[in-house]
Each structure stands twice: as structure tokens, then as C-alpha cells.
Amino acid sequence: MVDTPAVEEPFSPASGRTNPADKRTWFGHPRQLARLFTTEMWERFGYYGMRALLTLYLTKHFLFSDQQATGLYGGFTALVYLTPLVGGFIADHYLGSKRSVKFGAIVMSLGYFILCFGGETARPHATIDGQRYEVQVENFVDRPTSSGEEVRYVVTPGERLKIKGNEDGSVDLLRADNSVAKNLPKGSFDPGADRNGLFVALMLIGLSMVTVGNGFFKPNISTMVGSLYDQGDRRRDAGFTIFYMGINLGSLFSQLLCPFLADAVGWWAGFGLAAVGMMFSWSLIQFDGGRLAGYGERPEHGDPRKDWIVYGAALLAVPVIWFLFTNLMNYQEPEPGSGIVGYVLSLPIMGKLLFGTFLVGVPAILAWSYFRGTRVEFQMMCAAMVLIIFNVVFWTLFEQAGSSLTLFADRNTDLTVAGNWSISAGQTQFFNAFFIVVLAPLFSLLWNGLAKRGLEPSIPVKFALALMGVGAGFLFLVWGSAFAGSDFKVALWWLAGLYLIHSIAELMISPVGLSMITKLSIARIVGMMMGVWFLSISVAQYVAGVVAQVASVETVGGQVTNLQVSLQTYVGVFTTIGWISIVLGAILFLLSWPLKYLMHGVK
């Protein structure tokens, strides 16, 4: 999972105080680390619990098409990784890290709480030959996990006709005796849904508030951890390692519990638990008993009278983000033959902003480095930019977890674990967090052991192996699809195997990314390069949504019309992106030698 720390600031003790790192400790670290560790754990509990439900919520409760749901999901996660750039700036110049964290926690908690109010389930309909018909669903349960017994009918004058999708994309409408009343060619059956505009607006407002709150919380909790240590304190890296274990522990439990509650009680209970977890996170900072005094305080030039102006401006950003989400969901693909220019012009506003900033920013920084830096600095910056571009590819494919892979788990995966016990599609996302918790210590020992022998792979080689690994994970699942049963469902363990391979790939690239940027960047623009790094992750999240849209399957009332077509669609997309990733990884592996030269000894 993508959780990269912000750049931490050195400890600056309050007047008359000494660094508590020299006094009472927690496993050899400042005792404040325990509180910040738990704060981050509960915050990630809320975020990943909500994320485990989001795509299913959009497709099953609001009955959005796959294209709309995965597009919105990609846009949401893109902004989640972009807003910390603004939140970090505000904390540095106005609020300080601690106030920013508390404000972000409150706004995020309110966002999760608002998601609890989804209203009634959307009402499906279908348009056939220009005529709109009601669609009725028997045995429907508005939960993340379908019973498998739902039957969908088109209501025509005098009778109900059962909907049956065919392998060639056509749709049969069947009478009660299963005879074909009408065969509809591919494209002539247009499913849709009537949604309550108020509850759709509330859902988008909730996501917008989570986005804004995350921008304040995410970068500044990391800054507070960094402030626990003096410059040069060797415990700093180990402290961050412990701190970021909280991310995976929080996500591990929430991705099991939130989907469970959503299935057992209702969607509101799953989102409500996420909100409770977020409030726990807030309370640990708000009621710290003075333990965090002197850490993350307001900058010396900060004016307390401007706090409410900052808070108000942050809340005014909510309708702006709501507008971006709405624009994203109304996106229409360009006409065939419109070319690259037509495609770019048709992009949603968010796509234009992200791609435009990235495509202009990267060459602009390189040009600046060429004219203002030394030859060595320019070469190191070139190496950094190449790795940033490949980083976009990795996270684009890795982040299918919350979108296309979750829908694949729901539709084409046998979720049985043992006997009659099974898990839900949302809970399958916990595999990644589980494997990270188990494997991270082993990888740490592996890299240390190889480093002592002078055999540790270079940063470009690690990036290349990560790219080939994420591709291999998709191809592993494609292999498993060959053993799908007559119900066109793949055994759960094939999906778990994909997450195992992807987790190994993540451990090769995620821990070294930010460190690589700080080492290769020209010192006087390192902050800008950090911004480019986070922008690259944001772009990757957006493109991940686009890739998931390619894997879209036609649904009626939240369910696919033909599971065989669904399996074939996913297998086709996963095969393509799997091989693309492996080929790009191989190219980067070949480039690792010239890149190593351009890096001038940076490891």
C-alpha cells in the first residue's frame, strides 16, 4: 500500500526543555513514539476500512457502472496523495503540525460519518430500442457480499422477462419457461439506475472531506515523528520503521472488520467503524496529557488569529473537490478516430491538471538542472526522473487492489476459505497488509545481509524487480483462471498468491523511493522534487482508475449479466498489463547500468 512519509523536520526543543529522547524510552525510542504510532494506526484503520468498501459501495448501493465507480475511485485516491503537499505547506507556515493533525482528523472523521448516510438503494432500469423499462431484482440484499441468488427482470407490459447476458455481448430476455422472448444485439441493452441526488451529493461531500482532512493529517504526523529525534540520531530510521508498521496493523484489522460489519449490519456500520477509528486517532493527540508538548507546535512567525481563516479556506475546498469528482463521473470517452489530441481535450479537469503538471514539471526541472546545476547534479537529476516515471507505472498497476481486483474478487473469485467459512470481497484487501507485516522484517534482514557482503541490488535494479514482480502477480492470477470452475470463479488462493507477489514487489520499491529522491536531488530544490514524487504517485492513482475502467464489465442492478464474459474481460486486461509491466521492468533492468553511472555512487 502506498504510504510514503513526508520529510521530517529536526527537533527544536521548547524553551528550557531537553530532548525527551534522552530520557524515558519506549523500546529504546522516545516514549512519544508510542502515541504517534497508535495515532497513525487508528487513522489508517479508518482510511483503509473505508477504502475496502468504497468500490463495492459505488457499484452495489448506488449502482454506478464499473466505469463511473473505478473512475471516481481513481480520482479520489489521486487527490488523497496530492493534498498532503498543500497540508504540509500550511502546517509549516501557519498552524504547525499538531494543530494540522487534529483538524485533519476531525474533518476525515466527519467525512466517514457522512458516508454512513447512503439513503435507499438506487433503482435499476434499462433502455431498449429507445424505450425505458423498469428492472426488478428478486432476492436482492443491499450489502457488500451478494447472495448469488439474485434474479433480474425487465418489466414489460404484461410480463417480466429474465435478463441473461451472452458470451458475444448480446442479451437475451427470457420468459418464465426460459424461452427467448427477444435477443438484443450487443450495445442495444443500456442499463442504468435512478439515484437520489441528495444522497449522491452527500457521498461525494463525504469523500471530499476525507480528501481535505487527509491533506492536513498525512504529512504532519510524519513530521512530528521526525521531531522526536535530534539531527544525526541513529534511531531515526528505526523509529520510522516502527511508526509505519502502524499503517499496516491498522489497515490489516480494518480491512477485516469494516467489511464484516457492512455485511452483518449494513453499509453504515462499516463506514461508522471507520469514523470511530478516526476519532480515536484524534483523541490521542487532543488529550495527550502534555506528552506531546513542544512537538509540532505553531511556527514562530505563525499568527493564531489566522487559524480560523485557514480552517474556513480548507472547508471551502470541499465544494471544489466535489466539483472535480462530479466532472470525473460525467466523463465521456472521445469519439473513435479523434486521436491523441482529441483524447487529451476530452480528459476530465482532474486528468488535465495532473497530466499537465507532471508533463510540464518534469522537463522544466531537468532544464533548470541543466542550466543551473553542475554536470554531476544534472546527471543525478536525470536518473531520479527516470525512476520517478517507472514509479508511476508500478503504482498504476499495484493500485488495482481497491478497484478492478476488488470487483474481480466479488464476481469471479470463490471466496470460500474452509468448509462453509468464507470472506467477503472487501476483506481480500487485507492480504497485502498481512504479507507486509510478515515479510517486512525478513526483507530488512535480507537487505542488511546482502549489504554486508556487497551484494545488495542497486536502486534501479530494485525498481526493475518490483515492476517485473507486479506483472508476475497478474500473470499468476491469469494462470489460476485456467482452473476456474463451471461457475467461472477462481479459487481464493490464486488471488492471495497475487497479493503475496505484489507485497514482495512493494517491499522492493516503497522503502527506497523517498530516500532515493533526497539523495539524488539538487539540495536547493529537494522540496520541489519531493513534490514531484508525490505528484507521480497521484498521477499513478488516477491512471490506475483509467486502467480499471478498461476492465469494466456490463452490470444490471449491480451485478454482471454474464460471469463468463466477466472472467474473460478481467483475464484479458490482467494479461496485457502483466506482460507490459514485465517488459518495462526488463527495460529498466537493462537501463540500471547507465543509471548507476548517472547516480554517481548513490545507493
Structural domain ending residue among the three candidates 150, 168, 194: 194
Rounded mean pLDDT of 219-236? 80
CA 361/CA 114 separation, integer angstroms: 36
b/e for 450-472, b at 16 or more Cβ within 10 A?
eeeeeebbbbbbbbbbbbbbbbb
For residue 66, give the C-alpha cell: 464499473
CA 259/CA 415 separation, integer angstroms: 14
> What DSSP character marks residue 65?
-
For residue 402, give the C-alpha cell: 481497491
Please check whether residue 363 lies inside any domain of the structure. no
* Whether residue 183 is found in the same domain as residue 203: no
- Percent of the residues in the chain that have a pLDDT greater than 90, as a whole number: 60
* Whether residue 104 is found in the same domain as residue 155: no
Domain count, the chain: 3
* Whether residue 40 is found in the same domain as residue 102: yes
- Smallest CA-to-CA distance from 135 within 602, 509, 561, 593 is with 561
* Whether residue 106 is found in the same domain as residue 246: yes
Please check whether residue 269 lies inside any domain of the structure. yes
* Whether residue 284 is found in the same domain as residue 401: no
Rounded mean pLDDT of 64-81? 94
Give the containing element (helix H, strand E) for 246.
helix 235-264
341 — pLDDT class (breaks 50, 70, 90): low
Please check whether residue 576 lies inside any domain of the structure. yes
* Whether residue 228 is found in the same domain as residue 266: yes
Which residues are registered as beta bridge partners of 25?
30
b/e for 482-501, b at 16 or more Cβ within 10 A?
eebeeebbbbbebbbbbbbb
23 — pLDDT class (breaks 50, 70, 90): low
* Whether residue 265 is found in the same domain as residue 411: no
Contact assessment for residue 201 and residue 194, using Cβ atoms and an 8 Å cutoff: no
- 471-492 confidence digits (pLDDT tens): 999 999 999 999 999 999 999 9
What's the pLDDT at 380?
93
What's the pLDDT at 93?
87
* Whether residue 422 is found in the same domain as residue 437: yes
A 10 A CB-CB count for 120 gives: 10
- 52-63 confidence digits (pLDDT tens): 999 999 999 999
5 — pLDDT class (breaks 50, 70, 90): very low
- 373-384 confidence digits (pLDDT tens): 899 999 999 999
Please check whether residue 351 lies inside any domain of the structure. no
Please check whether residue 107 lies inside any domain of the structure. yes
* Residues in contact with 462: Cβ distance below 8 Å, sequence separation at least 6, in sequence order: 508, 509, 512
CA 573/CA 580 separation, integer angstroms: 11
A 10 A CB-CB count for 102 gives: 21
* Whether residue 208 is found in the same domain as residue 85: yes
CA 233/CA 237 separation, integer angstroms: 9
- 299-338 confidence digits (pLDDT tens): 888 788 889 999 999 999 999 999 999 999 888 776 666 6
* Whether residue 111 is found in the same domain as residue 128: no
Structural domain ending residue among the three candidates 166, 194, 222: 194
* Whether residue 261 is found in the same domain as residue 221: yes
Domain of 212: which CATH number?
1.20.1250.20
* Whether residue 234 is found in the same domain as residue 320: yes
- 109-143 confidence digits (pLDDT tens): 999 999 999 999 999 999 998 899 999 998 888 99
Q: How far is CA 408 from the centre of its chain?
A: 17
For residue 533, give the C-alpha cell: 514524487
Structural domain ending residue among the three candidates 280, 301, 330: 330
- Percent of the residues in the chain that have a pLDDT greater than 70, as a whole number: 93
What's the pLDDT at 2?
55
| Domain span at 537 | 395-594
Rounded mean pLDDT of 73-96? 91
Please check whether residue 382 lies inside any domain of the structure. no
Please check whether residue 405 lies inside any domain of the structure. yes
Please check whether residue 364 lies inside any domain of the structure. no
Pick the more confident residue, 427 or 518: 427
